[in-house]
Homo-oligomer: A and B are copies of this chain.
Amino acid sequence: MQKEKEVSTNQRPLILVSNDDGITAKGIRQLVEVMTLLGEVIVVAPDSPQSGMGHAITIHMPLKIRKSDVFKDLGVEAYECSGTPADCVKLAKFHIFQNRTPDLVVSGVNHGSNTSISVLYSGTMSAAIEGAIEGLPSIGFSLCDYGEDADFSHTRSHIFKIAEQTLKNGLPNNVALNVNFPARFDKETEKENEIKGTKVCRQAQARWQEKFDLRTDPYGREYLWLAGDFINPDKGEDTDEWAVKNGYISIVPCQFDMTAYHGITHINKEWEI
């Protein structure tokens, strides 16, 4: 509580909130509520769900952006945008904020896990990565519960602490955090999951084993739904998947330099070009 006071009595930091489930999702409301304890909040979020959008940006279509009343009850200025999460952060920085710079960019809380390889497909994380590209301390938050009415109550004090630590200690350059929370209740046992603590992790080397569900539309044309199973052959106990499966909050620091430096040596050594 003392820390909460510390933050609020200093000059209030400016916090940009976005997400990928859309501005009316339950998860973003949780995040906005917690962020108002830490600073001045402005929301720029998609006007419709954008899950799975990865780091997509809108280049062949114009964008629309409108003021929104969604967070009026919290006294929070909000904008809804026709684009992707990455578009929202770009719009916030270069169109809405103009001469102000946010002290923190937060995205989520996503309805569903973004551990492991999901970081690549995640609109939630693309907003955070976009923030990091712009040189801003940025965090994506996700809950391992896909339900529209998921229970986020157990995440609130942890979101506060993680955001507060980020504001206080900063992050290394070009790094955004990917934070995942275990679901509040275990689906099988219906028992409440106990949060055992927080682990700073690496991204698990897991992947989706896809299945396509083939159907026929009312006009006789075939269509497919993407579906699949999550396969995790990575037995490491230092991964995000291990952490959330074992009752811990996972924090993975993520970078956007995708260079595989060891690959440079390999090619220079093995190839004839």
Q: What residue of chain B has the Cβ atom nearest to residue A65's Cβ?
A: B224
Contact A174 B60 (CB under 8 A): no
From the candidates B49, B210, B263, name the one contacting A255 in the complex (CB within 8 A). Answer: B263
A76 at the interface (CB under 8 A from B): no
> Is B121 within 8 A of A62, CB to CB?
no
Tell me how far the C-beta of A54 lies from the nearest C-beta in chain B, rounded to whole angstroms.
Answer: 3
A54-B53, A221-B64, A224-B95 as given contacts; A202 in contact with B261, CB under 8 Å: yes
A165:B271 contact, CB within 8 angstroms: yes
In contact, B268 and A260 (Cβ under 8 angstroms): no
Q: Within the assembled complex, what's the spacing in Å between the Cα atoms of A186 and B90? A: 31
Complex-state Cα separation, A115 to B98, whole angstroms: 27
State the Cβ distance, A181 to closest chain B Cβ, in Å.
13
A133 contacts the other chain (Cβ, under 8 Å)? yes
Alpha-carbon gap, A59 to B95, bound state (A): 30
Interface size on A, residues (CB 8 A): 79
Contact (Cβ within 8 A) B87 A259: no
A185: chain B residues within 8 A (beta carbon): none
Assess the B52–A54 pair: CB atoms within 8 A: no
Interface hit among A32-40, A101-109, A246-254: A246-254
| In the complex, residue of chain B having the shortest beta-carbon distance to the beta carbon of A225 | B62
Number of copies: 2
Cβ of B94 and Cβ of A57 under 8 Å apart?
Answer: no
Instruction: Give Cα A195–Cα B267 distance, bound, in whole angstroms.
Output: 19
Question: Please, which residue of chain B has its CB at the minimum distance from the CB of A57?
Answer: B52
A120-B14 Cα distance, complex, nearest whole Å: 27
Q: How far is the CB of A89 from chain B (nearest CB, A)?
A: 10
A273 to B248, CA, bound (A): 12
How far apart sit A129 and B54, CA to CA, in the bound complex (Å)?
A: 12
Q: Is A12 an interface residue (CB 8 A)?
A: no
A272 at the interface (CB under 8 A from B): yes
Q: How far is the CA of A90 from the CA of B52 in the complex (A)?
A: 14
Given known contacts A59-B226, A172-B266, A203-B259, what 8 new A-B pairs fall within 8 Å (CB)?
Answer: A55-B120, A62-B215, A62-B223, A63-B225, A90-B212, A94-B209, A94-B212, A254-B258
